[in-house]
Amino acid sequence: MQICGFGWQNRVLDATLTADAQAARLPVSNLRNQQGAPSLGWRTPGTAAGLALSLSAAAPLRAISLHRTNLTALATWTVTVSSGGQPVWTTNGGPIVGGQSVVVAPATLAGDTVRLTISDPTNPDGWLDVPLAYVGPLWQPVRNFSTDSTTGRALGQDSLTSLAGTEFVDARWYQRTASIAHQSLGDADSAVIEQILRVAATGQNILFLPDPGADSGTLARQALFGRLSGADLSNPFGAADRHAITLTMTERL
């Protein structure tokens, strides 16, 4: 198991985005939105499309992910990272689990162009919705998070109970959450966590991978992309270079 990773420098937000196809009112530039609703994302008029991110200069890249999509389990996608017009890494994207998928390079790459190609020919909608994406580096603290950490869910439900006690539930949304307890951050790690929380405070989505080295199916199942907040930073071990904080993540809907 690898040490957990945080993606907080999303190059989708500042790169030049171009797509092979896009719906008139749902262009690829919508990937810069922070909301995961299909009505606010990038939509293609067919079931296959390509997306390219172009950066002004080569930059560190390691994690690429898609979130809140309408892609089915039969969808496939590929990633090509290039620098100066030359490919430096090409891989097949992982499986789609709950509308999301993640790929992590074995090590940080330097690239100025990222090309994604997506195909889902049996998609019953007849089009592709990709509301959220992350392309960028992955930061890992020196030591891993605590086993005191938990995962959960927040449910959006309208519930009506009859006089006889019969319950009628209208499900609205299902949002995954995580409480990430870290009890052994060094001074340098704490400084980065502060930077991440400052970015998250603006409403920008953060990618969290509990185990970046996991198999692709586990990556897709465990990844969280959404809002991040943090409790106070403490010093439970006195003068030692060890700090503790609990971070709260909520999946962006």
pLDDT, position 171: 86
pLDDT, position 237: 80
What is the rounded distance in angstroms from the CA atom of residue 144 to the CA atom of residue 65? Answer: 22
In order of 133, 188, 205, 227, the CA distances from 201 in angstroms are 19, 20, 9, 8
Q: Which two tokens stand for residue 97?
A: 């689990």
Contacts of 46 (CB under 8 A, 6+ apart): 21, 126, 127, 128
Mean pLDDT of 209-220: 95
Q: Per residue in 148-181, pLDDT tens?
A: 999 999 998 888 999 999 999 888 889 999 999 9
Q: CB-based burial of residue 170 (10 Å sphere; 0-12 exposed, 13-18 middle, 19+ buried)?
A: exposed
Confidence label for 97 from pLDDT (cuts 50, 70 and 90) = very high
Q: Per residue in 61-83, pLDDT tens?
A: 999 999 999 999 999 999 999 99
pLDDT, position 133: 98
Mean pLDDT of 105-119: 97
Between 146 and 237, the more confident residue is 146
Number of residues that this document lists for the chain: 253
Mean pLDDT of 177-195: 94
Q: 194-210: buried (b, 16+ CB within 10 Å) or exposed (e) per residue?
A: eebbeebeeebbbbbbb
Q: 14-43: buried (b, 16+ CB within 10 Å) or exposed (e) per residue?
A: ebebebebbbeebebebbeebbbebebbbb
What is the rounded distance in angstroms from the CA atom of residue 89 to the CA atom of residue 95? Answer: 19
